[in-house]
Structures are given as C-alpha cells and as structure tokens.
Amino acid sequence: MSSADITADDLITLVQAYNPKSNEALIRGAFDYGREMHEGQFRHSGEPYFTHPVAVAAILTEQQLDDATIITALLHDTIEDTKASYAEVQAIFGTEVAELVDGVTKLTNLQLNSTETKQAENFRKLFMAMSKDLRVILVKLADRLHNMRTIKSMRPDKQLQKARETMDIYAPLAGRMGMQWMREELEDLAFRVINPEGRASIIRRFITLQRETGDVIQRITGDMRVELEKAEIEAEVFGRAKKPYSIWRKMQEKDQSFSRLSDIYGFRIITDSEEDCYRALGAIHRRWRAVPGRFKDYISQPKTNGYRSIHTTVSGRDGKRVEVQIRTRQMHDVAETGVAAHWSYRDGVRSRNPFAVDPAKWIAQLTEQFDAEEDHEDFLEAVKLEMYADQVFCFTPKGDVVKLPRGATPIDFAYAIHTRIGNTCTGAKIDGMRVPLWTRVKNGQSIEIITAQGQTPQATWLDIATTGKAKAAIRRSLREVDRARFIKLGQELARAAFDHVDKKVTDKVLRTAARHLRLDSPDEVLARLGSSELTSSEVVQSVYPDLAPRSSDQIDSRRAVIGLEQGQSFDRAPCCEPLPGERIVGITFRGKGVTVHAIDCERLSAYEDQPQRWLDLRWHDGNHPPVYGATLDLTMGNGAGVLGRVCTLIGETSANISDLEFVERKPDFYRLLIHVELRDVEHLHSLMLTLEAEGDVAAISRYRNPDPGPGLTRPSDAGVLSPPLDA
C-alpha cells in the first residue's frame, strides 16, 4: 500500500495490531489536523504533501512504537511548514507531543552537511535533542528513510547532497542506535544515488553467481536446520544475501574483487533461550569449520545500545564463507529496533524486553565522553570515531572489561580508565609483556598501564591515540603546560591583526570572539591564537565577518523568489521584512501580485481561513545584492562620536542606512530604529555581531512591526497589507 492510499483507519489498524489500547481518537485527530494544515502543499513528485507524514508514521508502526511517536510523525512538519504553532499543538495534543514535534522541527533546521565547524555545532545540538527525548531521532530517521525512498523526484544536485548527508550521518546514527535494518536500507538508497554504476555492477554479479551456483541460501539454510534438529534445538533459521553497499564496502576495505569476496551471505538462528544459543553455536561449529578471528560473543559482552548476539563465520559449501548470527527472540527484537525497543509493544502491552537499553542511560553514556571536548574539531572527531567504530573488548588486571574502538592503543585504554591514569602513563604491558605505546590492542587482551608521578602527556601521543576522549585530554594537558606563554603571544598577535583592519582589541571584542568561537573566555581565545590552534584571521572574522571580500555574482532581486507563477510580481511584507535565507510564504492579492512574509509573521493569522491564497515559496540560493531592508532596534551610549562610529561600522559591513528614527533620548543613552539594506539573513547576523562588539552599544535586536504605519515603512511596501480580500 502506498502512502497516498493510507487512510486514518488504515493507520489506526496498523497501530492496534500491536497496541489494542492505543488512543484511536487522538491518532485520528492528529491525522485530520495534519491533513488540514498541509492542504494545498505538494511534494516534488506532485503528490499531496501529507502523504509524507503518513508514510513516516507507517514506518514507525513497523517498530511498534507508542502513540506519542506515531502522532509526532503525523505532525512533524506542521510547526515548521504550516500556520500551526507550538501552543496550538500543545493545546490539542498535549505537552509531550508538542515538545516532540518541536524537537523534530529544530533537527530539520540543522544543516548537517555544512562546514566542519558548523557540523560539529550541529552534532552538539543533535545530541542535545537526543538527550531530551530519543524519540525525536526515531521520527527524524523515519523521515529521512521515506525521503530517500522517494528521492528520485528531486533535482540531481539535491539528490547527491541528501545521499551524502545520509551516508555520512543518518545511516551511522541508525546503526549506533541498533537499528541495523534501517542503517542498511539508508546506505543502499544513498549508494544508489552516489554510485549507481557500482551498485548495478554488484547486482549483475549476484545474478550471474546465482545462475552458476543455484540458490545457495536455501541449501545452506536447509543444512543448518538439519544440524539443529539432530541436536534437538528448536530454532528458526533465516538466510539472506548482504546488501550491495555492504559488499561494495568490503571490496574497497579488503581490496578484493567480487569473485574473491567470500562472506556475501548472512544467516540468523533464532532460539528460545540463551542456553540454546551456545548449543546452536556448538552444532554449527561441529558441522562446519570456524574461521579463526571471526568469532564475537555479544551475549556475554553486549554492545552499549543493548545489542546481543553471537557472531561466527564458517566455511560452508564449496569452501564459501558464511556469517552466522545466533540469538534469542528477545535479543532479536532489540537487534531489529535497537534503542527503540524501549517504547515497543508486543502482544498488546508495552514491551518489557530485558535487553532493551534505558534511553536515558544510553544517552548519558554516549554523551559523557563528548562533554570534555572544548573545541569543534575535537567534538566532531569524537562523534565520528564513536559512530563509525567497531569495538574491541580488553581487560584490566582485575578482570574488568574496557570497550575501545578497533585500532585503539594502550594510551586509549589508559584514558578510558581515568584521565589521571592516561596523563601519567609511561608504558604498558599486554598479557604480561612490555609493549610500545603505539601497539594496536586486540580482543580479549589483558592490559596493565605503568604510571609515574610527574609524567605528563607528550605531543607525539596525539598521533598514537585514536579515541576522541584520549586526544581531547592530551590536547588539554599540552595547552595547560605553556598556557601563560601562549596567552602572552596571543595578545601580541591579536593586537597586530586588529590593527591591520583599523580595530582595537578590547575585552568586549575578545568576549564576543570567545562566544562566537564557542570558547570559555577571552584568555582561551588568546591561548589558542598563541598556540596556532586559531589563526589571527579566524579571530578577526569571528567579530568582523564582513571584512572578507564577497563574490560579485549576484542574483537579480526581481527574480529572487522561487515558486511564483510566470508573470507574478512580489513585494516583501513591511511587517516582518523577510530576508533571503529565511523561510517564507506568499499571500496572493488580486491585481497586486504576491506579498512575501516570513513563515513566523504574526500577520499571517489574518489569512488562516483563506488557504487558497497561500503560496509555498523559497529564496534563490546564492549571493544576493544588498537591497533588502531590515530594521534594527539599537540602544547606545549618549556620547560624542558614538553615532558616527555606529554608522561607520554599518558602512564597513557593506550595509546601507536608508532611514533612521530616534525612539528615546535620555541623558546617558539613545534608543533608535535604523533601517538598513542587506544581502540576506547571514548579512544581518554578522552586522548585529559587529555592532554588539562596539563598546558603546548596550543592546541590539531585530525590530519587526506587526502593524506598520508611516515612518520606517518603505513607500514601495505601503498599502500591501490591506484587509484580507476574497480570492
């Protein structure tokens, strides 16, 4: 059944199949509300937009999730893309649903494929959203899955952007949460876009292989069932060929051709008890030869996301290697849905699966190692290491287990135990033998760390360590050793850099730089500048970003909006003064064209009962000319030359003052409204940041007037906001 065919009754039937006590009225209400809010909106494919939220909800029913998550899926785009508000969703569906929808909206606004610094900041926000309620991520993953399933209707460049973002972020995140089926499907859908020729070649070779060897899966599955019956073990056996991307990745990692790649088939044995798992393992190993080094027992040593299973690889028919996973039914449920199993239902009741991880504990464990990261690169490095890492399990001399990513060294082991142990490490013993600190640790090894008082981390350790926690601790220690010297050197570099652009290095300027660079203090900015972790140009640009030259290729302001019909003209609404880069919507007026509003403009409530007049619009991407007006509400000191300096700063950021109005005049300060002409919303933010760094500016904010009158309203905008007309 396609999403276009799913009705409210169909969705309720899907939910009640696993949760008969679900709130049918609330789900139906959410279905009707979402459909009404998205009325008149369409996807790139031409389908009504509401088919997308319905499809997302249906995906989540496959994971047997609770009512709040299903309702959030139906409403997840309403606050962002329609006239619906947080308050309204809260009033109708409750605080839990409203906060979940708001969380998904904030995640949607993250541009996760941006520069590394922004990507690190967005990863921080992503983990913050996860820590508040993990179901936000479950909805977002289902949202991305449906978008990838229907990606062909998008422009080729957008397809490639979304596919890379999916491969880099969402697929590993699904895997980290234990949702392996979703990770594999996301990877395969992204692979289809990024490398269609590679995927097609894998599929062609599979077809050739099946023609030559017959149905290998059915034969091996039958053989396994026979062996389990001989051992009197009740179990289900399933076999499958691995996904094209999984095979492609193995070919790249092992630098092997398809014909030499062995383990392209996978089999699962589902038993009734943990004891039967080990009995089944014995039966399989008696019948087929185990491949050395390919055995993992995640039952005795579970993964942090709750995953439990025995993995082994054996040589099957004709010497072909096959991977076998053995687990119980409850373990299998967690393996299928991962952390989502915490909210799942089974047999009509909320599942109390003993292997499902408590989401709060899981998130706390996941984010603990990131809390110490002080800068963007460290944090991003730690996140990627954690999300992509395969794990090895090592032991302390007392027998405690320490989990590390594959490729870790004794230094990583030392810091995993305690930062103090890592900082004072002088050597290590593995299984009783002294080894160099760069040795790669392996599964099952016992590691003893040798420490000495007075020892401090060495700079060479950064090349030896692999975990984000170890690298961050080493960098932090190295910074502290020469901190005073670096601060003094940083002061000299900063003074020279700001003098070069005719600016002064004041405490306020450095505080502004620290806030924008997400550092703790001005001293931290200077220390990193002195240690070459920051360049002087980065510090200057953090306060005065528009001192850098911009491209001369500009978008024609008459054609700046996408979504208008041929021949339609548009005006920017003076109430909200939308800028390029902001989300916008159009309201049609007979004989007057279209008025463009920001999506959060208060005046849009006047047209709530006239949805036929709404247009879904967006700004052209690219470099816009500085012709778009916005109003600043500025409070500054009443001193000689202050207004002149403010006007000079505005001019230096390539903005133009088109009007100015004093609102308040006091003996010690002025409050005024300044109408400036800008390129886009980023230009506005950089201008405000520059003015904020000025010592005599006490407060600055963007001014919006829901009922504009004379004065700062531009003549070209006058009369646009006449009373609502019938379409």
Angle between helical axes of 67-75 and 95-108 (0-180°, round to 10) = 50
Burial 386-416 (b: 16+ CB within 10 A, else e): bbebeebbbbeeeeeebebbeebbbbbbbbb
Residue 537 tokens read as 């140009």
CB-based contact 688:645 (threshold 8 Å): no
Q: Where are the beta strands (DSSP E) in 341-483?
A: 345-346, 349-350, 391-395, 401-405, 425-430, 433-435, 447-451
Q: Where are the beta strands (DSSP E) in 242-277?
A: 265-271
Handedness of CA 463, 466, 467, 470 (dihedral sign): negative
- The residue annotated as part of the active site, out of 80, 188, 692, 717, is 80
Angle between helical axes of 135-149 and 67-75 (0-180°, round to 10) = 50
Q: Measured between alpha carbons, how far is 186 from 193 in angstroms, rounded to an integer?
A: 11
Q: Measured between alpha carbons, how far is 319 from 312 in angstroms, rounded to an integer?
A: 15
Report the 10 Å Cβ neighbour count for 279. 18
Q: Measured between alpha carbons, how far is 658 from 680 in angstroms, rounded to an integer?
A: 16
Grouping H, G, I as helix, E, B as strand and the rest as coil, residue 48 is: strand
> Which class for 577: exposed (0-12), middle (13-18), buried (19 or more C-beta within 10 A)?
buried
Strand partners for 241 = 265
> Which class for 441: exposed (0-12), middle (13-18), buried (19 or more C-beta within 10 A)?
buried
- The residue annotated as part of the active site, out of 66, 67, 77, 81, is 81
Handedness of CA 511, 512, 513, 514 (dihedral sign): positive
Q: Measured between alpha carbons, how far is 248 from 260 in angstroms, rounded to an integer?
A: 13
The values of phi and psi at residue 20, to 5°, are -60, -20
Instruction: Count the alpha carbons within 13 Å of 403 in the hemisphere toward its beta carbon.
Output: 13
Beta strands 321-328; 265-271: pairing state: parallel
Query: Which one-letter DSSP state was computed for residue 243?
Result: P
Instruction: Count the alpha carbons within 13 Å of 322 in the hemisphere toward its beta carbon.
Output: 28
> Which stretch of DSSP H or E encloses residue 653?
none
> Which stretch of DSSP H or E encloses residue 288?
none
Q: Active-site residue 81, yes or no?
A: yes
DSSP secondary structure string for all residues of 440-476: PP-TT-BEEEEE-TT----TTHHHH--SHHHHHHHHH
> Which class for 249: exposed (0-12), middle (13-18), buried (19 or more C-beta within 10 A)?
middle
| Residue 521 falls in which region: left (phi positive, over 0), alpha (psi -120 to 50) or beta | beta
CB-based contact 336:353 (threshold 8 Å): no
Q: Measured between alpha carbons, how far is 320 from 337 in angstroms, rounded to an integer?
A: 30
Residue 240 tokens read as 């499958």
> Which stretch of DSSP H or E encloses residue 672?
strand 669-678
Q: Measured between alpha carbons, how far is 720 from 515 in angstroms, rounded to an integer?
A: 40
Beta strands 570-572; 593-598: pairing state: parallel
> Which stretch of DSSP H or E encloses residue 220?
helix 216-230
Q: Which residue has the tokens 């169909």?
A: 10
What is the set of active-site residues?
80-81
